[in-house]
Structure 1
């Protein structure tokens, strides 16, 4: 009667590797900058 409830089981370890969404914002910004650079480069060739 004096003994308390059993403690909860320990949490499982985190999954290995990096998260999938790591660096998505940086990749998006690089893609925007690269796209703008290519558009400007093509416009200079046509002019």
Structure 2
């Protein structure tokens, strides 16, 4: 077998192996349990909104 034939054979082999690897599909993982009802989005959401409002008012008053 010449070097050229070996390269062609190796290329075909790699393509076929990659096709076999792609063809093996995997099932998606099962979904997780649903969150408990009434769970808040974030505990610090209200505190952050108040801080942002306070900071904005302070900047506006300082600028005037």
TM-score, normalised to structure 1, is: 0.50
Higher Rg: 2
Higher helix share: 2
